[in-house]
Amino acid sequence: MDARQAAHAVNDYVIAYRRDIHRHPELSMKEFRTTDRICEELDKMGVSYRRMEPTGVLAEVKGGKGPGKTVLLRGDIDALPVQEETGLDFASETPGCMHACGHDTHNAMLMGAVKCFHEHKDEFAGTVKFIFQPSEETGEGARAMIAGGCLEGVDYMFGTHISSQVELGHIEACPGPMHASAFWFKIKITGMSSHGADPYHGRDAAVAGSAVVMALQDMVAREYSPMDPMVVTVGDIHAPGRFNIIPGEYRMEGTIRTFSREINATLEDTLNRIAKGVAGAYRCEAEVELIEVAEVNINNEEAYEIGRKAAEKIVPGCVDLAHPQMGGEDFAYYTPYVKANFFTLGARLPDAEGKIYPMHHGKVLFDERAFEIGVALYIQSALDALEA
C-alpha cells in the first residue's frame, strides 16, 4: 500500500467525518454520540471492533498475508468546555463545548487509517489495532483502555497530536521525554473569620493562602535541581467573603509539570510540608489533595526511529526534532508497557485577520490539508513497524 496515495483517496471522507464530529463535541467520558458515530462507520466498513465502557472503541484489521506483528494506532475523541468563536460553517452546535484541542481531527484521521487498512488488508501481514480513546483531557481515558486489554499482544504503538502552532506539513517528535507529567493540586486553608476592622480577632486565611502561593514558587528554585525542568502554576484562587470581613477560608487549585518520575514521587510530601508549614505560621491549617492527570510521556527510541523514518517518507525534509513540552498527554500511560512513539502534526492556519490561536482557545483553527498527512503518517508508521 502506498500510504500517501491511500490517504489521498480517503481525504474527502476524512474531512466530512471530522466536520460532523466537530459539530457535536462531547466532554470527557460523555462521548456517547461520538462513540455511536465511530461504531456506525466501522459497521459500514465491516471492520471488527469492541465498544468500551462507558465510551471509546477498540477496532482491528488483520492483514491478508498471514500473521505477524501487531501495531496499535491511537486517536483521542473528547472535547473541552470552551465556547466556540470560529464562525466556521461546521462550528459546534453545543453551547459551551468545543473541539478546541483538535481531538475531532485525531478521530477523523484515525478513521481514515482504518478505512485504508481495511481496503488494502490483502497487502500486508500482521494486525493493526485502532484505539478511539475517550477522556484524554482528564487523564482517565488511556488507563481505562489499558484496563480493557487494548495492549494485549501489541508490539508497537503510535499516536499523533495536531498543532495549531506548528507549520503546516511539518511533523515533530523526539526520543525520550516529549511531554511533561501533569498533576492537579487543591489546597484548602482554614482560619477564622472576623470583622475587617479587627483582624487580630480572627486568623486570616487569605494572608496565609497568599503566603502559600508564593512559597510554592520556591519549589522550582529551592526544592529541586535546576537541571530538572519544573513548572508550578496556581491557576484558581477563591476566598469567599465581603470587603469588610476577614476570610476564614481560602482555596487554591493549580498544576505541577515535570519530566522526572523520581520528582513526581516526592511531590505530595513536598506540597504538604510547604502548605501546612506556611499556613501554621499564620495560625491556620492546610489540607492538600494531589491528583495525577498524566505521567511523563516518553518515546521509545526504537519506535521513535521507526516513526521518524516513516515520517520522512511522507514529508521529506519536514520532520523536525521536537523540544520537550510542558503540556501533559495521557498517551504517557501506554509507554511503560509497549514500544511507543508520539508525533506532533503541524496544521497552522491563520484566521481572516492573520491571527493564529493556540489550542484550548475558542477561535483555534486547524488546516484541513494536514489531515491527508496525518492519515498517511498513521499508515506508514504501522506498515514500517509491522516489517521491523
- CATH value at residue 348: 3.40.630.10
**Quick one: 220 and 77 in the same domain?**
no
Task: List the beta bridge partners of residue 183.
Answer: 256, 292
**Quick one: 194 and 172 in the same domain?**
no
| pLDDT score for 180 | 97
Which of 248, 272, 294 finishes a domain? 294
The verdict on whether 223 is a catalytic residue reads: no
The verdict on whether 78 is a catalytic residue reads: yes
Domain that holds residue 93: 3-179+296-386
**Quick one: 266 and 187 in the same domain?**
yes
Task: Residue 191: count other Cβ atoms within 10 Å of its Cβ.
Answer: 24
**Quick one: 224 and 370 in the same domain?**
no
**Quick one: 29 and 146 in the same domain?**
yes
**Quick one: 268 and 308 in the same domain?**
no
What is the DSSP code (8-state) at residue 324?
Answer: P
For the chain, the average pLDDT equals: 97
For the segment 114-129, the average pLDDT, to the nearest whole number, is 98
**Quick one: 47 and 170 in the same domain?**
yes
The pTM (predicted TM-score) of the whole model is 0.91
For residue range 170-204, what is the model confidence (pLDDT) as tens digits?
999 999 999 999 999 999 999 999 999 999 999 99
**Quick one: 142 and 192 in the same domain?**
no
Catalytic residue among 136, 140, 172, 384: 136
Which residues, 6 or more positions from 198, have their beta carbon under 8 angstroms from its beta carbon? none
For residue range 61-93, what is the model confidence (pLDDT) as tens digits?
999 999 999 999 999 999 999 999 999 999 999
Q: What is the enclosing helix (H) or strand (E) of 319?
A: strand 319-321
**What are the helix and strand counts (H, E) for the chain?**
10, 16
What is the DSSP code (8-state) at residue 348?
Answer: -
In this prediction, residue 221 has a pLDDT band, given cuts at 50, 70 and 90, of confident
For the segment 139-160, the average pLDDT, to the nearest whole number, is 96
Q: What is the enclosing helix (H) or strand (E) of 166?
A: none
Catalytic residue among 78, 137, 204, 330: 78
**Residue 232 corresponds to which amino acid?**
V
